[in-house]
Amino acid sequence: MVPNSSRWFSWKNLISFRVAMVVFCLVLVAWFGAAFALNQRQIFLPGETSVGHHLFETSCSSCHQAFQPVNNDACMSCHQAELAEDAHGPSKFRDPRWAAELANLDVMTCTTCHSEHVHMFGRGVHLQPDLCMNCHQGLIEGDLASHNGFAPDGCWTGGCHNYHDQRSISTGFLRRNMGEPPMLPVQQLPERTVVLQRAVAPAPDLTQEFLEGRQ
pLDDT digits (tens, 9 = 90+) for 145-179: 888 888 998 888 777 888 888 877 766 777 777 78
User: In whole angstroms, what is the distance from residue 176 CA to residue 170 CA?
Assistant: 10
State yes or no: pLDDT of 141 exceeds 70. Answer: yes
* The pLDDT value given to residue 33: 73
Domain boundaries, the chain: 6-43, 70-177
Q: Report pLDDT digits (tens) over 99-129.
A: 888 888 899 999 888 888 887 777 778 888 8
The closest of 124, 132, 136, 123 to 153, measured between CA atoms, is 132
Residue bearing the bigger pLDDT, 23 or 202:
23
One-letter-per-residue 3-state SS of the chain: CCCCCHHHHHHHHHHHHHHHHHHHHHHHHHHHHHHHHHCCHHHHCCCCCCHHHHHHHHCHHHCCECCECCCHHHHHHHHCCCCCCCCCCHHHHCCHHHHHHHHHCCCCCHHHCECCCCCCCECCECCCCCCCHHHHHHHHCCCCHHHCCCCCCHHHHCCCCCCCCCHHHCHHHHHHHCCCCCCCCCCCCCCCCCCCCCCCCCCCCHHHHHHCCCC
* The pLDDT value given to residue 8: 52
* The pLDDT value given to residue 213: 47
Instruction: Rank 13-17, 65-69, 127-131 by mean pLDDT and report only the highest.
Output: 127-131
pTM: 0.60
Residue bearing the bigger pLDDT, 91 or 9:
91
State yes or no: pLDDT of 41 exceeds 70. Answer: no
User: In whole angstroms, what is the distance from residue 154 CA to residue 133 CA?
Assistant: 10
Q: What's the average model confidence in pLDDT over 77-100? A: 88
Residue bearing the bigger pLDDT, 33 or 137:
137
